[in-house]
Amino acid sequence: MLVKALEKAENEAYHLSFDSINDYLGLDDYSVWFMLKKCEASKEIIKNLENRRLLKCAYERIFFTQEKMVTSIFTNEIVRNKIEEEIASKANLDHEKVVIDIPSLPSVPYSNAKLELMDIPVFIKSKFGEKTSKKATELSRIINVMQAYMNIVRVYTEEPYRNKVAEASEKTFGYLPSETTISY
């Protein structure tokens, strides 16, 4: 919500303007909050945050893929905005009422700067006592299969629109099996 407030305040940048690096470094949480609260475009969001009227999750779906491209498509702001607009349109709501969050994580949470993402080094001791390093993916096909990105698609909205946005999200992303349904 805070990011949305900052995006809305962008057009009224005089509230958050700075002429030098020292002006920028002088910004702290309180001064940014105060400026966002004064800004006409972001005032409503800040008021909702202060009153704990937070966005609610209307839809969540987890899927795995080995394609980095799929993950990069979802993290593309233009694509995300188009999907938000589509869901809002199906729910007969203003585009501003729908927010999509798509964090993507490797399903095997390991990385090393010297190796490819998710290549896990395993040390093998020979019968002569020598230790050699191998990639776990070379030793086990199971690890190869597990190497995927976990993409979580979450659609958020305000409490009164939750059901409408959930239905529109299901039409857009597909229906979830009943065993994955979480009561809120």
pLDDT in tens, 146-180: 666 677 889 999 999 999 999 999 999 887 655 55
Please give the structure tokens belonging to residue 49: 């945050």
pLDDT (mean) for 16-41: 82
- Report the CATH fold assignment for 55-107+148-184: Alpha-Beta Plaits (3.30.70)
* Neighbouring residues of 2: CB distance < 8 A, sequence distance ≥ 6: 45, 49
Helix (H, G, I), strand (E, B), or coil: what is residue 184? coil
pLDDT beyond 90 at 19: no
In sequence order, the 6+-apart residues with CB closer than 8 A to the CB of 3 are none
- Weakest-pLDDT range from 15-19, 76-80, 87-91, 156-160: 15-19
Contacts of 7 (CB under 8 A, 6+ apart): none
Residue boundaries of the structural domains of the chain: 1-54, 55-107+148-184, 114-144
Q: In this structure, are residues 28 and 35 in contact, taking their beta carbons and an 8 Å threshold?
A: no
**Total-model pTM:** 0.67
Give the number of other CB atoms < 10 A from CB of residue 14. 9
